[in-house]
Amino acid sequence: MVVQFPDMRRAVIEALQALSDPEYQRRVWVERTYPQPGFYDDLTHNVNVLYDDTSVAEDPRAQIGVTLESEAEAAAIESLTAVLDPLLDSLPTKLEDAQVISRPEWSAVVRAAQAAAGIIH
């Protein structure tokens, strides 16, 4: 299926890849070792892509044909938000990314993002 907004789909895929890679998170989000000048990434950016910029996390099924291609992709995003939403809701404000990714619940987010990235590519 061709999606209506392929650039937004790419942004979703990039966010899933970032959320699925603990080594990347440590290197880029915590150590701020960026792959090239002018590059920036952090947890907030990736959450914003999924929730605010594309609304894919808010209503994955509504995004089929828009940024997602199938029910399987929507289900993968739902599985991710099932673990990401409670974690985000439980966090005090103003935590550093290092503090968030060191929480025990973060491993479930990484696993769900890995599964979603494997389906949405």
pLDDT tens digits for range 4-50: 999 999 999 999 999 999 999 999 999 999 999 999 999 999 999 99
Residue for token pair 């699925």: 20
The span from the first CA to the last CA of the chain, in angstroms, equals 13
Residue 29: CB atoms within 10 A of its CB come to 21
DSSP conformational letter for 29: I
> 0.85 cut: is pTM over it?
yes
pLDDT at 94 over 90: no
Banded model confidence at residue 64, pLDDT cuts 50, 70, 90? very high
Residue for token pair 């974690």: 87
Q: In angstroms, what is the C-alpha Rg of the chain?
A: 14
% of the chain beyond a pLDDT of 70: 100
CA distance 13 to 6: 10
Q: What is the mean pLDDT of the chain?
A: 96
DSSP conformational letter for 94: T
pLDDT of 46 reads 97
pLDDT of 92 reads 86
Banded model confidence at residue 2, pLDDT cuts 50, 70, 90? confident
CA distance 28 to 109: 17
